């Protein structure tokens, strides 16, 4: 897979500049968005859209222009009864060229894959979503698609999958390898180099390594020699194990077994 | 017309269904376990009563999607598209037409997501053989002719157009793009895809998805119409433009 370079001129909108909340009332799901686009030097007449999506569900809301922001009154997500899995993107696009048959409007700035805060449930944003999967042989695996990685737990082999992922056995034996597989995916398979988009799942994982584990920036991609990147991944997994106190946890549950 | 009450498979029912599907690719293929559709240990009733035609035959994904949309949207069920057990139940109900035997008599069910849907994942969700077309129909019901490139296939063989375009959320929700794909690859004179639409070369759906993904990084695809997008496509798509030129005059129809 090719590395990603941003030649589009599109500016990434930082996560701290987009706050989206969801509320559920009377069977309807409604959202509110607070956008702060002041720092991006965008043209005042550029249009601002907020889009909600989940699988084939897609809804666009017109938030006016950069210079004259205006929230639509109706911010109810149609055909959505539960906010589970709904994500948002904020798009700032040039004011439409004359006629929709000419060419599409250029995207000037973007924030994508924004998970809203649910005011009712106050669920925290997880870096690694977990769901059940179908396998009668494999207990867990990580799925990579266009979107963020997803940890799957076999519903055939594990009845309480939510509890399972917090067991000391799983945390000590599986989590470090899951972390390694994700970093390997980001650096060696996707050769990801575009660090501008803070919402991009790859950048969120690299930020976690930097900010929570104290890792330096990963070395630059070099297809001829990946040893430096492999070493960086090893170091990051070591740091992850230290942070999670894996050795002590292992000793604890092994002792309990005996 | 034989009507039965729609139910949902529970965890045990879906596990049993999984065993059955696995057995089809093993040495001892099992019989379709139809009893789990009504057995209270493996399935449960829905909060509202919905009758479904057990012997209904669907020539294409379109007819199945239309039938299921009309059935479920009028049923007062809460978000039926997110009910895994319901879709697994339906897939088992119509198993024979969703998984016909090949020339050697063998049935090849394919991956599990074709039978038990991924209701939360942002990938793989379109692969369910019934829920996939249902979601497309729900999205395009007001201009369904535009989406025929995703609905004209037989239920058991969605094919590469679906795989390439429905697998990417930003593409499948772009009316301009799906309209353009239908104009390129769907021939309404034969109610099916044009020759070459399942290829991988120049002008193929795979290439269309690649080109559209490049556009999508730079342009807002929701601010252009189908005609405009077709004009933007490189010349490698000319062959398909010409193939469907006659059909285009009437516009795509289901």
Q: Which of B142, B140, B109, B215 is nearest to B150 (CA)?
A: B140
Q: Residues of B with CB below 8 A from A107's CB?
A: 217-220
Residue B198 has a pLDDT of: 80
Name the residue among B173, B215, B227 with its Cβ closest to that of A58: B173
Residue B150 lies in a domain: no
* Nearest-neighbour CA in chain A from B2: distance (Å): 31
> For residue B41, what are the contacts with CB-CB under 8 A and spacing of at least 6?
B12, B13
Q: Residues of B with CB below 8 A from A49's CB?
A: 220
Half-sphere exposure of A223 (CA within 13 A, CB side): 7
Are B175 and B210 members of one domain?
yes
Number of domains in chain B: 2
Are B36 and B86 members of one domain?
yes
C-alpha span between B171 and B205 (Å, rounded): 12
How is residue B11 written in tokens? 């965890």
Q: What does each of the 254 residues of chain B score in pLDDT, given as a tens digit?
A: 899 999 999 989 999 999 999 999 888 999 999 999 999 999 999 999 999 999 999 999 999 999 999 999 999 888 899 899 999 999 999 999 999 999 988 999 998 889 999 787 766 788 999 999 999 999 999 999 999 999 999 999 999 999 999 988 889 999 999 999 999 999 988 889 998 888 788 899 999 999 999 899 889 999 899 999 999 999 999 888 776 665 544 455 67
Residue A68 has a pLDDT of: 95
Q: Predicted ipTM?
A: 0.81
The verdict on B172 touching A (C-beta cutoff 8 Å) is: yes
| Cβ contact, residue pair B138, A79, below 8 Å | yes
CA distances B20 to B15, B83, B155, Å, are 9, 21, 20
> For residue B16, what are the contacts with CB-CB under 8 A and spacing of at least 6?
B33, B36, B42
CATH class, A11-118 region: mainly beta
Q: Residues of A with CB below 8 A from B82's CB?
A: 82, 84
Residue B115 lies in a domain: yes
Question: Boundaries of CATH 2.60.40 in chain A?
Answer: 11-118
Name the residue among A101, A104, A136 with its Cβ closest to that of B220: A104
C-alpha span between B78 and B239 (Å, rounded): 45
How is residue A97 written in tokens? 């060229």
Residue B209's domain comprises 158-254
Name the residue among B135, B136, B219 with its Cβ closest to that of A105: B219
Are B22 and B66 members of one domain?
yes
Tracing tokens 């004259």 back to the chain, one arrives at A68
Are B73 and B103 members of one domain?
yes
């Amino acid at each position: 897979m090719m590395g990603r370079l941003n030649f589009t001129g599109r500016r990434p909108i930082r996560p701290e500049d987009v706050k989206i909340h969801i509320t559920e009332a009377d069977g309807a799901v409604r959202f509110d968005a607070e956008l702060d686009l002041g720092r991006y030097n965008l043209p005042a007449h550029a249009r601002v859209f907020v889009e909600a999506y989940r699988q084939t569900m897609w809804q666009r809301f017109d938030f006016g222009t950069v210079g004259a922001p205006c929230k639509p009154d109706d911010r109810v997500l149609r055909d959505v009864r539960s906010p589970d899995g709904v994500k948002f993107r904020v798009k700032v696009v040039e004011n439409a060229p004359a006629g929709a048959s000419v060419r599409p409007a250029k995207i000037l700035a973007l924030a994508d894959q924004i998970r809203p805060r649910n005011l009712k449930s106050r669920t925290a944003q997880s870096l690694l979503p977990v769901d059940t999967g179908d396998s009668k042989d494999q207990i867990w695996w990580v799925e990579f698609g266009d979107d963020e990685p997803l940890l799957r737990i076999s519903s055939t082999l594990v009845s309480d999958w939510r509890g399972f992922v917090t067991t000391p056995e799983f945390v000590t034996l599986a989590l470090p390898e899951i972390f390694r597989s994700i970093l390997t995916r980001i650096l060696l398979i996707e050769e990801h180099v575009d660090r501008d988009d803070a919402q991009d799942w790859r950048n969120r994982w690299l930020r976690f390594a930097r900010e929570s584990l104290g890792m330096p920036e990963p070395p630059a991609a070099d297809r001829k020699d990946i040893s430096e990147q492999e070493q960086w991944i090893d170091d990051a997994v070591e740091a992850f194990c230290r942070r999670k106190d894996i050795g002590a946890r292992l000793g604890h549950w092994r002792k309990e077994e005996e | 017309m034989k009507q039965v009450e729609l139910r949902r498979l529970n965890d045990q029912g879906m596990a049993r269904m999984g065993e059955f599907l696995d057995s089809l690719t093993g040495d001892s293929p099992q019989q379709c376990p139809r009893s789990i559709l009504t057995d209270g240990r493996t399935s449960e009733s829905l909060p509202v009563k919905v009758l479904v035609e057990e012997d209904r035959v669907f020539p294409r994904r379109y007819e199945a999607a239309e039938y299921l949309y009309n059935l479920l949207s009028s049923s007062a069920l809460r978000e039926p598209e997110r009910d895994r057990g319901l879709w697994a139940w339906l897939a088992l109900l119509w198993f024979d037409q969703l998984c016909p035997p090949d020339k050697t008599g063998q049935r090849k069910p394919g991956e599990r997501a074709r039978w038990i849907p991924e209701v939360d994942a942002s990938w793989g969700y379109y692969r369910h053989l019934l829920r996939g077309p249902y979601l497309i129909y729900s999205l395009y019901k007001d201009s369904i002719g535009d989406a025929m490139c995703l609905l004209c296939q037989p239920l058991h063989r969605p094919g590469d157009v679906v795989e390439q375009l429905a697998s990417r959320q930003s593409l499948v929700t772009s009316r301009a793009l799906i309209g353009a794909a239908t104009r390129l690859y769907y021939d309404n004179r034969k109610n099916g895809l044009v020759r070459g639409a399942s290829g991988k070369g120049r002008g193929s759906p795979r290439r269309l998805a690649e080109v559209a993904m490049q556009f999508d990084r730079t342009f807002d695809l929701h601010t252009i119409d189908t005609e405009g997008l077709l004009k933007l496509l490189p010349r490698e798509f000319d062959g398909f433009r010409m193939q469907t030129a006659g059909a285009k005059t009437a516009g795509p129809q289901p």
